[in-house]
Structure 1
């Protein structure tokens, strides 16, 4: 891990644009260790028959998003709670953080990009918003589905995606970028870090390459002063690794499952978590 301190111009840039790119933050050894941890998880899921190949997506369907394995894997927890990284985020927001969620993306050749969205649309952290630390685990760019952001859009309120035909967007929903704003590509190398605000519009392009993965891990954090959060993000972790809870956001935009990006009211664990919340 390269020792860094936050420069005043970086703080100013983050406050103005809603994101901050830090180059060469993690070492090759750090990245290899994390990828190895997820590779072991992937192999176990394959051995248990929990990953199924889709005939219309024979390659990328074998490499789904792996969500929230930090709950049961100490190496992943070590990575997302690395003190220098969360220290920079805490310095940016002037408050200590909670871990809300992790997602590891293989982004195999042929994988579709994510349409423009705002993270706090689904996470529902209130008051304030969420904050993401996105770590590039492969070289990424437009060809293999790199990260895109809309600078300055973090000042927007939470927007509702528009319903569109699947021929326009495979997810059936999208947010159109308002006039006066433009998406930009953030080419990255392994070990680069992007920190961004939970209201900023961001997404990614399709992986149109034939042989390049675009692995990345994104961790969503909230301020410790957050009062409410959406159902499926309520298993929160403090920097000291203790688990904590916040009140349930009773008016979520969506309730998310692992099977889709935006709309879910039928999570298999919905009733179980509601019962735990009511008893707690």
Structure 2
């Protein structure tokens, strides 16, 4: 992490580490999840269904690190650990992994805050977003698969972040962020996501099973009001 990266994280709440992973590593990760999709459902993690909604035929994979060694390796990668500890100023725990296929025509996710779902306590955000959690409104089901929508704070607007394969976006849990629908007719928009909390956290939602960056289970007390990242609407489109 350069001083510029650290300054961006502290002032704006996010930063991008360009080329942190090689293209060959990303291709291997893509192939791993393509094979997982082809092999069928894994109850509790990944359950595709026949549907006219691309997010039902290619649903996100929840906690893939618990069922796939490569996903676990990516979640706990030493390069991520180094950046995270620099940005947070302490050791970290991995709380969750996810993989999004985002096939052509898939809806995005409305603006939201991750710590609305994780409820990590005490807060470990170190950036400018110190106003805590906002009360979400209901999102537009036509463009978002998740129900919650947080309008941008007064005077602020969304900032697009363009990324290439191998880039990693780091942002704190109070940052308002989201994604647009995939309007491509042929291209997927895949992403592997890890959620982390500072080692000083004492509580987190029961959905999040925290482990150290060495892979050992580190149980935290349960915080109230938490849930999976993004409460999904009912299936979209014809079945």
TM-score category, normalised to shorter length: 0.7 to 0.9
Larger radius of gyration: 1
8 Å CA contact 2:144–2:181 kept in 1: the answer is no
3-state SS of 1:116 partner = strand
Task: Give the deviation of 1:118 after TM superposition.
Answer: 0.3
1:238 matched to 2:212? The reply is yes
Task: Give the deviation of 1:165 after TM superposition.
Answer: 6.5
3-state SS of 1:232 partner = coil
Where do 5+ consecutive residues of structure 1 fail to align? 1-5, 132-151, 265-280
User: CA separation of 1:65/1:168 partners in 2, compared to 1, >3 Å: closer, same or farther?
Assistant: closer
Task: Give the deviation of 1:87 after TM superposition.
Answer: 0.7
Specify the alignment match of 2:154 in structure 1. Answer: 179
Tell me the distance in 1 between the aligned counterparts of 2:62 and 2:79.
23
Task: Give the deviation of 1:72 after TM superposition.
Answer: 2.4
1:1-280 residue pairs with structure 2 within 5 A?
A: 6-45=1-40, 50-55=47-52, 57=53, 59-129=54-124, 154-163=129-138, 166=141, 171-233=146-208, 235-249=209-223, 251-252=224-225, 254-256=226-228, 261-262=230-231
Task: Give the deviation of 1:216 after TM superposition.
Answer: 0.5
3-state SS of 2:129 partner = helix
Task: Give the deviation of 1:262 after TM superposition.
Answer: 2.6
8 Å CA contact 2:11–2:128 kept in 1: the answer is no
Tell me the distance in 2 between the aligned counterparts of 1:247 and 1:157.
20
User: CA separation of 1:17/1:8 partners in 2, compared to 1, >3 Å: closer, same or farther?
Assistant: same
Higher relative contact order by CA 8 Å / sep ≥ 6: 1 or 2? 2
What CA RMSD, in Å, does the superposition of the two structures yield over aligned residues? 2.5
User: CA separation of 1:130/1:220 partners in 2, compared to 1, >3 Å: closer, same or farther?
Assistant: farther
How many residue pairs match? The answer is 231
User: CA separation of 1:98/1:171 partners in 2, compared to 1, >3 Å: closer, same or farther?
Assistant: closer
Where do 5+ consecutive residues of structure 2 fail to align? 234-239
8 Å CA contact 1:163–1:173 kept in 2: the answer is yes
TM-score of the aligned structures, taking structure 2 as reference length: 0.88
Specify the alignment match of 2:236 in structure 1. Answer: none
TM-score of the aligned structures, taking structure 1 as reference length: 0.75
Specify the alignment match of 1:141 in structure 2. Answer: none
Structure 1, 41-50 or 171-180: larger mean CA deviation:
41-50
Task: Give the deviation of 1:88 after TM superposition.
Answer: 1.1
Task: Give the deviation of 1:245 after TM superposition.
Answer: 0.4
User: CA separation of 1:213/1:130 partners in 2, compared to 1, >3 Å: closer, same or farther?
Assistant: farther
